[in-house]
DNA sequence: AACCAGGACGTGA
DNA sequence: TCACGTCATGGT
């Protein structure tokens, strides 16, 4: 029998999907897909194709993108990624070889460049150590610069693991701002089929919904009360 | 011209 | 544990 909560979680997904259509996350530089309905960047998306990443380089690109996008709008992350690509540094060994000065200069558009330069080198060292193996959540969380959301983003989008990603939008949308990260994560994971494709799409849809200004108006009203 | 983005970390209470 | 301050660029 289907619980009320499960119904609700699926229904929210269906509504978001109907409203925004498949999002085609995680965006990749070498992927020519576009999504004109999307806010912000319109490049790098691969709608209804959950087969990415196709190789280690794309996997690595998603991982460094996950660091760079922390509290940062995606178009700024794209600029940083393009700079790194120009330096041929979307490659673990080459990225580590960059001087801090060059690395910081390249990722500057994404903000917090002093911290993120360190974070990038930290996660890159782990990536090399893994030799293609999938990291555990705990392994990722040990890395300075990788918190709950980044760890889950890496697992879900780079490694296709069914780990639900919770962000600020997720809590706002469900009005769960007072709940802890792990609690919200479990709400989704315990009430949805453990399919990485579904988790990828669901999170991307929540972000798209959250970006719309309509929500922000509602948010401000509900918070003021 | 404020405000905020696809957070994480360090600190003091 | 928890509430804050900090980090930084660029778009709206």
Q: What average pLDDT score do residues A206-217 get?
A: 77
What pLDDT band is residue A2 in, cutting at 50, 70 and 90?
confident
Q: What average pLDDT score do residues A32-36 get?
A: 64
Cβ contact A161 with chain C strand, < 7 A: no
- The pLDDT, as a whole number, for residue A17 is 97
Q: Which residue has the higher pLDDT, A134 or A36?
A: A134
Q: Which nucleotides of B are covered by protein (CB under 7 A)?
A: 4-10
| Distance separating alpha carbons of residues A126 and A106, to the nearest angstrom | 21
pLDDT at A215 over 50: no
pLDDT at A217 over 70: no
The full set of domains in chain A, from first to last, is 4-224 (1.10.340.30)
* Separation of A72 CA and B4 C1' (Å): 9
Cβ contact A75 with chain C strand, < 7 A: yes
Task: Find the range with the poorest average confidence among A27-41, A116-130, A172-186.
Answer: A27-41
Task: Find the range with the poorest average confidence among A58-72, A102-116, A210-224.
Answer: A210-224
What pLDDT band is residue A224 in, cutting at 50, 70 and 90?
very low
Q: Model-level pTM greater than 0.75?
A: yes
- The pLDDT, as a whole number, for residue A40 is 61
- Report phi then psi at A187, rounded to 5: -55, -45
- The pLDDT, as a whole number, for residue A30 is 87
Cβ contact A157 with chain B strand, < 7 A: yes
- Nucleotide closest to residue A78 (CA–C1'): C10
Q: Which residue has the higher pLDDT, A225 or A54?
A: A54
pLDDT at A211 over 70: yes
What pLDDT band is residue A199 in, cutting at 50, 70 and 90?
very high
Percent of chain A topping pLDDT 70: 89
């Amino acid at each position: 029998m289907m619980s009320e909560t499960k119904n609700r979680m699926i229904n929210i997904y269906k509504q978001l999907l109907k409203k925004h259509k498949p999002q085609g996350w995680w965006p990749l530089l070498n992927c020519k897909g576009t999504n004109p309905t999307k806010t912000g960047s319109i490049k790098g998306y691969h709608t209804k194709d959950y087969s990415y990443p196709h190789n280690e380089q794309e996997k690595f690109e998603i991982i460094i993108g996950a660091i760079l996008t922390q509290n940062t709008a995606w178009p700024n992350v794209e600029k940083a990624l393009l700079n790194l690509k120009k330096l041929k540094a979307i490659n673990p060994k080459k990225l580590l070889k960059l001087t801090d000065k060059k690395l910081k200069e390249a990722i500057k558009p994404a903000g917090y460049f002093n911290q993120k330069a360190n974070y990038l080198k930290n996660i890159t060292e782990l990536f090399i150590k893994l030799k293609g193996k999938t990291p555990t959540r705990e392994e990722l969380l040990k890395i300075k610069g990788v918190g709950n959301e980044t760890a889950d983003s890496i697992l879900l989008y780079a490694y296709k693991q069914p780990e639900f990603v919770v962000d600020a939008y997720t809590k706002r949308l469900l009005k769960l701002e007072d709940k802890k990260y792990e609690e919200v994560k479990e709400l989704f994971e315990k009430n949805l089929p453990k399919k990485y494709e579904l988790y990828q799409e669901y999170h991307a849809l929540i972000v798209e919904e959250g970006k719309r200004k309509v929500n922000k108006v509602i948010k401000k009203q509900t918070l003021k009360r």
